[in-house]
Structure 1
Amino acid sequence: MGTAFALPLIGVAFAVAAPRILGRASWQDREPVVALWVWQCVVAAVLLCFALSLLVTGAALWAPLRTGLFESAPRGVQESYGLAAGGVWRGVLAAVLITAAVHVVLHLFREAHLARISRRRRYQALRAAAPPLPPGAVPRQRGRRGDDDLLVLEGSRPEAWSLTMPLRPPRVVVSTGAMRRLGPEQLRAVLAHERAHARARHHLLLRSAGALATAFPSAELFTAYARTSARLVELAADDAAAQRHGSLATALALIDLNDGRFGPPRPRPPAAWAPGSPPPPPVEQVAERVDRLLTGPPRLRPVQRLHLTAVGLLIALVPVLVALAPGLDAVLTAAGRG
């Protein structure tokens, strides 16, 4: 039973150390996609530690599960896990892990249910309010056959956001105020930014991160993961837009979409945010994104990106290797004796 007790300790160690280490990593702004991958690998490693510990503990307490896991295993593998040891602490550990697992699953289902209801209502309201899009009203994206994923809303405030629905193609919502204010290349950059969000399914990442942070608000790893992911997905979408339409056009589009929020406000008629639109990002975040696009450091070299990707994968594999270690050791010992 040593493996069942060691895995949660490793998970706690990852949960404590990872936010501190990644919080000081300056390379994340240069490679937001790789940074998201590393964060996801760390979170997956922590969850895997507790899930595999629950599996081993369940095998010790429940004979059918133990039989299913070790039925085809070589001789001596089951004994290597010491499932008979642990005494009453096996039950305590199993109760704690099952409670935590149910808690997480309930929060994930709750977030998914609320998101589905919210998206369905927003989608229906937007479809009813959006006028037909005349041919050629929006500059086409290079490499795209058309702009059938667009919904145009009447509104003087420049806005754009992506809207995703289960079993339906994602849509990009843009206001007429944005279409009037932005130049053709800037509008293309905005559409590329929002399509990058939809293509990468950033909404699923943010929902799952938010569910973990809500389920365990005192866990620094999950709260930092939710907070950092919200920032990194915007940087990743900025990079996707800048790669297609240039950093200058993307930065100018960010400024124009947030007109009046930099420096002294300009006189302009009041306008409410469109129904269903997300709240505007903090002005400090917008300013940082503009500075990054115009004067930010270059991307990491390919070998550095590969190294960070491999590190993230190795972190995610640590719980699996720890869980398999006793069985592998038993197999190698038996082979050596044979």
Structure 2
Amino acid sequence: MMVPAVLLLLGALTAVAAPRLLGRADWTDREPVLALWAWQCMVASVLLCCALSMTLSAAAAWQGLRGHVFGTAPRAVVEAYAFGTTGPWAATTAVALACGGLWSAAMLVREVVRARARRRLRRVELLVRAPRLPGEEPGGERLVVLESERPDAWWLRGAPPRLVVTTAALRRLKGRQLDAVLAHEQGHAQARHDWLLHCSAALADGFPRVPVFAAFRDEMHRLVELSADDMASRRFGRLTTALALVELNEDRGVFGPCPTPQAHVPQRVHRLLTPPDRLTAARRLRLTAAASLVPVIPVLVALVPGLRALG
């Protein structure tokens, strides 16, 4: 039975080719939402290859599990997979891939627990620095203003969510720039970008030697910011959003010659001031369809013997 091996080979090829193909694409910065979807489809395809290979390998190694997987399948379909010709590698492959799946789940749980701990600590600090006023509803959504010399604004998830802005940001942001910053943060919350960051970080930390997962994490951090920039600029204009980014970050050295952790900010400002032309609707539709079909390929590969037997 060669299907599990073919699936593993397909997953490896996708893991190698995906970062190169998407890294060379000229449309990712122009359509960050579409690029986010394409990256998710590529990674989902790799994970599906591993999951399907594990399932078929386990079915080949253990008769009892095979009955659960192919319990309602015709006898011809089961025979088409030629489980009797498998060697001792089937059990080893199934166990190795199962361990990889459990490790991925553990890394995701760890990432979520750490994020919640950080958020809980920030909420405690926020309550100390900005205590609830008498008569204020404890469950109501509110904008919190913090006394600080550093211009900053962020969205703090939780129950209830909080929009936090510092007094320095209020002094520096003029006109509708503050509205653009808040719209940017709300865009992150509405699109649930935090879950994309959690999943990408869990995969990259759990499998640091797999290039597609490291590239996935890096691109998620970049593309979610571009996506949120576009959400804000559609409501308040590209110039207003770009000026707000400059006001919030010019004292952090991000516009100087030395690289900083926020080195992507100048590129974001340049993109807002010189917006690239969007793709046509037809091309966006084609790219969306092509990306959506990528995770379908492993499923078709896994079903080929059964479909041949039925056909």
Fold-level similarity (TM above 0.5): yes
Moved more, 29-38 or 95-104: 95-104
Over 3 Å counting, the alpha-carbon distance change for 1:78 and 1:188 in structure 2 is same
Over 3 Å counting, the alpha-carbon distance change for 1:330 and 1:162 in structure 2 is same
Q: Which residue of 1 is the match for residue 268 of structure 2?
A: 289
Q: Secondary structure at 2:58's aligned position in 1?
A: helix
Q: Which residue of 1 is the match for residue 93 of structure 2?
A: 93
Tell me the distance in 2 between the aligned counterparts of 1:175 and 1:64.
61
Matches within 5 A, 1:33-48: 33-48=33-48
Q: Which residue of 2 is the match for residue 242 of structure 1?
A: 233
Q: Is the 8 A contact 1:157 1:178 kept in 2?
A: yes
1:263 deviates by 5.8
Instruction: Letter of the 2:279 partner, please give it.
Output: L
Q: Is the 8 A contact 2:147 2:167 kept in 1?
A: yes
1:301 deviates by 1.1
Q: Is the 8 A contact 1:131 1:153 kept in 2?
A: no
Q: Which residue of 2 is the match for residue 155 of structure 1?
A: 148
Number of aligned residue pairs: give it.
302
1:33 deviates by 0.5
Q: Which residue of 2 is the match for residue 141 of structure 1?
A: none
Tell me the distance in 2 between the aligned counterparts of 1:203 and 1:149.
20
Q: Is the 8 A contact 1:127 1:151 kept in 2?
A: no
Q: Which residue of 2 is the match for residue 210 of structure 1?
A: 201
Q: Which residue of 2 is the match for residue 73 of structure 1?
A: 73
Unpaired stretches in structure 2, ≥5 consecutive residues: 134-139
TM-score normalised by length of structure 1 = 0.85
2:309 is aligned with 1:309? no
1:44 deviates by 0.4
1:123 deviates by 1.6
Cα deviation, 1:27-82, whole Å, max 9, x if unaligned, reads 10000010010001000000000011111111122333221222222331111111
1:127 deviates by 2.6
Q: Which residue of 1 is the match for residue 106 of structure 2?
A: 106
Q: Is the 8 A contact 1:186 1:252 kept in 2?
A: yes
Cα deviation, 1:123-167, whole Å, max 9, x if unaligned, reads 22213322569xxxxxxxxxxxxx9342221112110112222xx
Matches within 5 A, 1:188-227: 188-227=179-218
TM-score normalised by length of structure 2 = 0.92
1:218 deviates by 1.3
Q: Secondary structure at 1:44's aligned position in 2?
A: helix
Tell me the distance in 1 between the aligned counterparts of 2:45 and 2:142.
36
Tell me the distance in 2 between the aligned counterparts of 1:86 and 1:113.
41
Q: Which residue of 2 is the match for residue 257 of structure 1?
A: 248
1:171 deviates by 2.4
1:181 deviates by 1.2
Q: Is the 8 A contact 2:197 2:220 kept in 1?
A: yes
Tell me the distance in 2 between the aligned counterparts of 1:132 and 1:154.
15
Q: Which residue of 2 is the match for residue 275 of structure 1?
A: none
Tell me the distance in 1 between the aligned counterparts of 2:300 and 2:255.
54
Tell me the distance in 1 between the aligned counterparts of 2:191 and 2:132.
27
Instruction: Letter of the 1:288 partner, please give it.
Output: Q
Residue number among 278, 287, 305 corresponding to 1:326 in the alignment:
305
Tell me the distance in 2 between the aligned counterparts of 1:222 and 1:22.
13
Matches within 5 A, 1:228-239: 228-239=219-230
Q: Is the 8 A contact 2:141 2:161 kept in 1?
A: no
Instruction: Letter of the 1:150 partner, please give it.
Output: L
Moved more, 13-22 or 60-69: 60-69
Q: Is the 8 A contact 1:32 1:235 kept in 2?
A: yes
Instruction: Letter of the 1:316 partner, please give it.
Output: P
CA RMSD of aligned residues (A): 1.9
Instruction: Letter of the 1:215 partner, please give it.
Output: G
1:262 deviates by 5.8
Instruction: Letter of the 2:200 partner, please give it.
Output: A
Q: Is the 8 A contact 2:16 2:212 kept in 1?
A: yes
1:300 deviates by 1.0
Q: Is the 8 A contact 2:4 2:53 kept in 1?
A: yes
Tell me the distance in 2 between the aligned counterparts of 1:182 and 1:319.
50
Tell me the distance in 2 between the aligned counterparts of 1:151 and 1:32.
30
1:25 deviates by 0.9
1:94 deviates by 1.5
